[in-house]
Amino acid sequence: MAFWVPFWGAVLVLGLLVFAVVTVVVGIGGFFDVRSLFDSIDRQHRIEDEQK
Amino acid sequence: MSSDLLTGISSNFGSVDWAIVALYMLGAVAIGLYANRYIRSMSDYIVAGRSLKPYLAVATMIGSELGLVTVMYSAQKGFTGGFAAFHIGLIAGIVTLIIGLTGFIVVPLRELGVMTIPEFYERRFSRGVRIFGGLLLALSGILNMGLFLKAGAIFVAGLTGITNPTSVALIMTVMLLLVLCYTILGGMVSVVITDYVQFIVLSVGVILTCGIAVDRLGWSAIVDTVAAIHGEPGFNPLHAGGGFGPSYVVWMIFTAGIVSCAVWQTAVMRACAAENASVVKKLYAWSSIGFLVRFMVPQFLGICALVFLYQDETTRGVFFSPGGGPTGNSDLTLLAMPVFLSQILPAGLIGLIGAGLLAAFMSTHDSYLLCWSSVLTHDVVAPATGDTLSTRARLTMSRIFIFVIGAFLLVWGLWYELGQDLWDYMLVSGAIYFTGAFALLLTGIYWKRASTAGAYLALVAGAAAVAGLTPVKRALGLDAFTGAHVGLGATVLALVLMVLGSLLFPDRARREEEA
């Protein structure tokens, strides 16, 4: 138990810290990706329409 | 039922919180309506036109995998297993990172341009393997999500303090109808947007909740109480005396590690929807932290629930056996975490966390409903009818399947008695598909001699994993074996039969090549 208590404590704290950073980065980047997703699907549809 | 036992246990959930939840749900439906204008083809519907860029792919992957059901079963594992349960998240994170760095299985799948795993079966083996594999995959997947509604109902009861089972059933039905509504309308486009919103709300919510829990209970008290209740097995996952042990850890490396990110269809769909192979690798590398946290944080909340409920005389009598250990009633161990949240979170915040988790519940449902209905349409009905179905017919059929699966979930959730931890139920029901699928993917991608006969044998062998479900185990007299034993046995059997079947019955093209 002497090994496991500090080990799991460190894993938990590190995991939460890294996750907090990922949340901020992915949250901001994801917002721009949503806009890009709609643009991309619109573009695909326009190309399909032109090919018809 | 557990809801009767809630009488006398108050909840901080109030009218402000209900308003937050209602607004959140209506917002999700509005997204479905908006996304519907972007749906024209099956590719738009299933994989969002293959236009997912890295950040959104990561958000939707974590958003989908960090669902309410994941939170519930992980919290239950933390409650029943203590800190030792953390090994599941650690393994999941490390294996996902390795897959992100190497591209193992997922990059070849993306490069093939398939939308589902059974589609790979047809390209590599035969149309028959695709239909049979697709049917097994859908049946296993639908069975796997069979208790989602029940878990959701227990969560709502625990969080809100509603003790009337009819009211809980009504709330769950309304929520299911909302999910069906926006999934049927918006397909993958609405799924990724709702997953993104849910990722943000839930990520902030769980980090905040962990802080409040530690502040309220104290780290030393948490460790001491777990040590008093569970002893050494509460910390050491390799200790055979607890709920885990070496065979369970090996089973986790396979299931929580490889399967959950590289073989399970809902995760693989994200890889298939990515823009290219490079995005797939980034998606998995970034998501590895999400795969760690999706297990570990809810497990920690389960541990905190264990400590909190043990300290109070009233709740100790409900959630613990007279000997001092956690109760053996799986409904109650599922209920512990939401009851704990209802006690420690203040009004307003509890509504936000509740909305986030209920949205997570909807998010998992929408992904899974879309996934299994697509598999049934795309991989079973369409190839069985000689690919004569029009795009419109396929979309209509997918939507009908979504509705039928939803009806099944309502019935199964009420009828089936769990009898084991929810996580273990889900692994075993999923194993009906993934033990065979792993053999097909591994050998199909990396071994030229893998044959159609071997593929059929492996799929049949994998389906034997159904023997790990508690009622089936009891009926077959296999009580001495755990779900992990049965699952590992089925995995090895599927691999052995895949190799033997391929060597003994090679495909005709290979035979001719060798001749």
Strand ranges in B231-335 using DSSP code E only, listed in sequence order: none
Residue with token string 């901001």:
A28
Contact B21, B355 (CB under 8 A): yes
B203 near A CB under 8 A: yes
CB contact (8 A) between residue A19 and residue B53: no
Contact B188, B47 (CB under 8 A): yes
Which residues, 6+ apart, have CB-to-CB distance to B132 below 8 Å?
Answer: B456, B459
Report the residue of chain B nearest A34, measured CA to CA.
B56
Give how far B280 is from chain A: nearest CA, Å: 15
Which residues, 6+ apart, have CB-to-CB distance to B232 below 8 Å?
Answer: A1, B239, B241, B242
pLDDT at B5: 60
Per residue in A10-49, pLDDT (tens digit) is 999 999 999 899 899 988 988 888 888 777 777 777 777 7
**Which residues of chain A have a CB within 8 Å of the CB of B235?**
1, 4-5, 8
**Which residues of chain A have a CB within 8 Å of the CB of B210?**
16
Name the phi and psi angles at B199, rounded to 5. -60, -45
Whole-angstrom CA distances from B407 to A10, B65, B117, B307, B413 are 44, 23, 25, 38, 10
Which stretches within B321-390 are classed as H helix?
Answer: 330-344, 349-375, 382-384
B482 near A CB under 8 A: no
Q: Which of A9, A29, A44 sits opposite B49 (nearest CB)?
A: A44
B227 near A CB under 8 A: yes
B85 near A CB under 8 A: no
Report residue B199 as tokens: 């990722």
Give how far B56 is from chain A: nearest CA, Å: 4
Contact B368, B143 (CB under 8 A): no
Q: Which of B90, B192, B203 sits opposite A11 (nearest CB)?
A: B90
Per-residue pLDDT of chain B (515 residues; tens, 9 = 90+): 444 666 667 788 889 999 998 888 788 778 777 776 666 655 555 555 566 677 887 887 777 677 788 899 999 999 999 999 999 999 999 999 999 999 999 999 888 888 788 989 999 999 999 999 999 989 998 988 888 888 888 888 888 888 777 777 777 777 777 777 766 666 666 777 777 888 888 888 888 999 999 999 999 999 999 999 999 999 999 997 777 899 999 999 999 889 888 888 777 877 877 778 888 898 888 888 888 988 999 999 999 999 999 998 888 988 999 888 888 888 889 999 999 999 999 988 899 888 888 877 876 777 778 788 888 998 899 999 888 888 888 888 888 998 899 888 878 877 777 677 888 888 888 888 899 999 999 999 999 999 999 999 999 999 988 888 888 888 888 888 888 889 999 999 999 999 999 999 999 876 676 66
Specify which residues B326 forms β-bridges with: B320
- Those residues of chain A whose CB sits closer than 8 Å to some CB in chain B are 1, 4-5, 8-9, 11-12, 15-16, 18-20, 22-23, 25-30, 32-34, 36-38, 40-42, 44-45, 48
Give how far A52 is from chain B: nearest CA, Å: 14
CB contact (8 A) between residue B207 and residue A16: yes
Question: Which residue, among A7, A8, A39, would best test binding to B if mutated, counting the most B CBs under 10 Å from its CB?
Answer: A8
**Which residues of chain A have a CB within 8 Å of the CB of B223?**
5
pLDDT at B186: 60
Give how far A11 is from chain B: nearest CA, Å: 8
pLDDT at B40: 60
Which residues, 6+ apart, have CB-to-CB distance to A22 below 8 Å?
Answer: B58, B286, B289, B290
Report d(CA A9, CA B121) in Å as an integer. Answer: 43
Contact A23, B204 (CB under 8 A): yes
CA B437 to chain centroid: 17
CB contact (8 A) between residue A34 and residue B219: no
Give how far B344 is from chain A: nearest CA, Å: 20
Specify which residues B274 forms β-bridges with: B52
Give how far B241 is from chain A: nearest CA, Å: 14
**Which residues of chain B have a CB within 8 Å of the CB of A41?**
38, 44, 48-49, 51, 189
CB contact (8 A) between residue B290 and residue A22: yes
Residues 19-48, chain B: which have Cβ within 8 Å of A? 38, 40, 44, 48
CB contact (8 A) between residue A26 and residue B236: no
Whole-angstrom CA distances from B199 to B67, B191, B192 are 9, 12, 10
Closest CA to B262 of B442, B430, B421, B497: B442
CB contact (8 A) between residue B55 and residue A42: no
Whole-angstrom CA distances from B415 to B147, B175, B493 are 10, 19, 32
B292 near A CB under 8 A: yes
pLDDT at B1: 46
Report residue B322 as tokens: 């007279």
B52 near A CB under 8 A: yes
CB contact (8 A) between residue A19 and residue B189: no
- Provide the angle, in degrees to the nearest 10, between the axes of the packed helices B165-217 and B277-311: 90
What ipTM was reported for this prediction? 0.86
Report residue B407 as tokens: 């009806």
CB contact (8 A) between residue A33 and residue B54: yes
Give how far B90 is from chain A: nearest CA, Å: 8
Q: Which of A5, A41, A42 sits opposite B223 (nearest CB)?
A: A5
